[in-house]
Amino acid sequence: MPAHAVVDWGILAIFLMVYLGMVLGGLPRLKLDRSGVALLGAIAVIGLGGMSTEQAARAIDLPTVLLLFSFMVVSAQMRLGGFYTAVTIRVAALPLGRNALLGAIIGIAGALSAVFSNDIICLAMTPVVAQLCRQRRLDPVPFLLGLACAANIGSAATLIGNPQNMLIGSVLHLPFGAYVRQALPPVLLSLLLLWAWLVWGPGARAQACADVRADAAPDAPTGTPMPDACGPLQAPPFDGWQTTKGLMVATALLLVFLFTDWPREVAALVGAGVLLLSRRLHSSHVMGFVDWQLLVLFMGLFVVNHALESTGLAVQAVALLGALGVRLADTGPLFVAGVGLSNLVSNVPAVMLLLPHLSGNEAGVTLALVSTLAGNLLLIGSIANLIVVDLAQKSGITIDWRMHVRVGAPVTMLTLAVVWAWRA
């Protein structure tokens, strides 16, 4: 067998190993998570001779990595300033009944996730929502599931709401404003459908205390954590200056994205640099909130996927599908592939697999919406879901995969139907 064929089959074996790790969340008998598997795969490709280190470096889409890093810094600023917790507590203090309160939490989570990371929003809001429900004697499960689903749905509204949208926007060069105009209507309708399902859908658990209003519950001082049986809420105190600074940078970046042609990753880097210039928040503290593992996952998958493309095997597989009448760029196959792969290997690896075979704004918008909304189908479909479940467990609230799928599956089908109708 020729040497290049040996290398090609070796690359295929590495690719399959890496994506097995994406499916399983690691590799059996090894202390590796998804990021570790992706990094190991990239190292194996280089060690096998499938790529040089220079080629591996060029395979990484640097604008995507820089944009993702920069918004991690912006989100860290907002979290350290106590913004997310303060907003949630303010909403909790409103004199709203159960259904209106549920709608407010869904709206806030969706709106914040469109600008900041959906994972960060769930990380910050979950403990507050759990304590809010205990304080008002409400069943916390619908509220927490609503929070997770809303964060996923809301993040689809922009090209900075989640990592896969950043990647799609960067690789396909999607205009920021044009994407928002196309994505916002189905996202808003999807958030409304989520609220309606939680309020009136089959199996919705309306408790006798659902109509208890805020004035019937113990007062909680606005802007302060709400204690419960699980202990005080561990959250940074609200810092008006740091929050204002972060909001000003985030607003400036949105205006730059909407009204200028300045490269998004450059503008975001400048914004991150402004935030790191601080006399109160040490840069090491801010950088400690950067998800370095996610960045490693991105870079490792870029290298492994590019190595597979260099063998020509992926192109041959897509050409074979095309000969059978299945074209990935068509709406139907793209929906099926996006939903299936997003729940099999997670949405970021799924998008990386599909992107090289797509082009144009229409395919990019469809993939961004489908891959994000598909994250609500299964508990493992989105990191945001797992964050909510893990933090709920620490508060003594159990949410298993069956409880999640009873909400996630119908909500996913409804929201995907909205996207299908909107894109048709």
What is the rounded average pLDDT of the residues 357-375? Answer: 91
Q: Are 417 and 390 in contact (CB under 8 A)?
A: no
What is the rounded average pLDDT of the residues 322-332? Answer: 80
Phi first, then psi, for residue 231 (nearest 5°) are: 105, 175
pLDDT digits (tens, 9 = 90+) for 232-261: 455 668 888 889 999 999 999 999 999 998
Q: How far apart are CA 118 and CA 18, in angstroms?
A: 25
338 CB contacts (<8 Å, ≥6 apart)? 350, 354, 366, 367, 370, 371, 374
Q: Is the pLDDT of residue 316 over 90?
A: no
What is the rounded average pLDDT of the residues 102-128? Answer: 91
For the chain, the maximum distance between any two Cα atoms, rounded to a whole number of angstroms, is 78
pLDDT digits (tens, 9 = 90+) for 48-68: 988 999 999 999 999 999 999
**Structure pTM?**
0.85
Q: Is the pLDDT of residue 288 over 70?
A: yes
Half-sphere exposure of 141 (CA within 13 A, CB side): 17
Inter-CA distances, 164 with 160, 355, 364, 382, Å: 9, 10, 11, 11
The type of residue at 113 is S
Q: Are 120 and 84 in contact (CB under 8 A)?
A: yes
Q: How far apart are CA 424 and CA 221, in angstroms?
A: 49
Q: Is the pLDDT of residue 211 over 70?
A: no
228: which strand partners?
A: 231
* Mean pLDDT rounded to a whole number for the chain: 86
Run of H or E residues at 82 = none
